[in-house]
């Protein structure tokens, strides 16, 4: 089935996004800002490689016909890893639990970062669900 223009653009932009933050994750001394996995270098490299692979897959799916099973499985893996990264960034490293709840850097910024992560997660979900359309 032919992909709609909005789905094509969403895949294209998500793919480019994941390639860029994946490269930032593997390159030393490059700060990804809100998309970095705190300051744990080994986790950052692992997630960077996964994001790079996800981005290349999303870009490839824009221009090559891939089987529905492969596309759905890969999109689900992308979504799962994005949700894991969101959980780590926002709830493990983004909140200081030692003296009550202290949000890093502050509650408004934490909420904004969470909403950005969730928006990207929703876009990944849309790309995954569009495979069936």
Proportion of the chain above pLDDT 90, given as a percent: 32
Range 42-65 average pLDDT = 87
Q: Is 106 left (phi over 0), alpha (psi -120 to 50) or beta?
A: beta
Q: Is there a contact between 87 and 114 (Cβ–Cβ < 8 Å)? A: no
43/40: higher pLDDT = 43
The pLDDT tens digits of the residues spanning 65-117 come to 888 888 888 888 889 989 998 998 899 888 988 888 899 889 999 999 999 99
Residue 133 pLDDT greater than 50, yes or no: no
- The predicted model scores a pTM of 0.83
């Amino acid at each position: 089935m032919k992909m709609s223009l909005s789905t094509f653009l969403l895949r294209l932009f998500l793919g480019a996004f994941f390639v860029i933050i994946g490269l930032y994750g593997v390159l030393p001394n490059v700060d990804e800002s809100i998309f970095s996995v705190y300051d744990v270098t080994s986790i950052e490299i692992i997630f960077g490689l996964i994001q790079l692979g996800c981005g290349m897959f999303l870009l490839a799916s824009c221009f090559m016909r891939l089987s529905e099973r492969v596309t759905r499985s890969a999109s689900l893996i992308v979504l799962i890893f994005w949700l894991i990264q969101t959980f780590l960034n926002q709830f493990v490293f983004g909140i200081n639990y030692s003296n009550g709840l202290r949000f890093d850097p502050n509650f408004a910024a934490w909420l904004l970062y969470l909403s950005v992560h969730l928006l990207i997660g929703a876009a990944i979900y849309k790309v995954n669900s569009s495979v069936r359309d």
